[in-house]
């Protein structure tokens, strides 16, 4: 099982370029679509990168509940259990 902080760090790493492009600070409350302006196609590609990084698969069924960086990190931690 991966630590929440470890997952959060991995997410910050992957999301950094988007935050810098959108000129936003990254934190747990950052909204993936609204704040980082990531369109749906790019978001799905990004999730695949994160999945590979953590060696897990995120079921599509979970996506409607994921809005913020924290939502994603919590979901990833649950899936890594």
Partner 1 sequence: MRRSIFDKFQYYANLREDVARLDANPFNVVVEQVLSETEAIVNGRRTILAGTNNYLGLTFDPRCIAAGRKALEEEGTGTTGSRMANGTYAGHLALERELAEFFGLPASIVFSTGYIANLGILSTIPGASDAILLDADSHASIYDGCRLGNAEVIRFRHNDPADLDKRLRRLGDKAESALVVVEGIYSMIGDQAPLQEIVEVKRRHGAYLMVDEAHSLGVLGEHGRGLVEQAGVEEDVDFIVGTFSKSLGAIGGFCVSRWQELEHARYAMRPYIFTASSSPSIIASTRVALSILREQGPELRKRLWDNAHRLYQGLKAFGFRMGPESSPVVAVTLGRSKDNALKVWHDLLDKGVYVNLVMPPASPTTECLLRCSLSAAHSAAQIDAVVDAFGAVSGKILEN
Nearer to partner 1, 25 or 40 (CB): 40
Neighbours of 81 (CB within 10 A): 7
| Structure tokens that stand for 46 in this block | 């990004």
Nearer to partner 1, 8 or 58 (CB): 58
31: which strand partners? 68
Binding site for partner 1 (CB under 8 A): 39-42, 44, 48, 55-61
Nearer to partner 1, 1 or 25 (CB): 1
Query: Any alpha helices (H) in 23-64, and if so which ranges?
Result: 40-54
Minimum CB separation of residue 39 from partner 1 in Å reads: 7
């Amino acid at each position: 099982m991966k630590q929440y902080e470890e997952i959060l760090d991995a997410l910050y790493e992957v999301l950094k370029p988007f935050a810098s492009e959108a000129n936003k600070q990254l934190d747990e409350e950052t909204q993936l679509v609204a704040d980082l302006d990531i369109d749906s196609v790019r978001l799905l590609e990004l999730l695949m990168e994160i999945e590979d990084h953590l060696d897990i698969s995120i079921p599509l069924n979970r996506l409607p509940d994921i809005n913020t960086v924290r939502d994603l990190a919590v979901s990833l931690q649950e899936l890594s259990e």
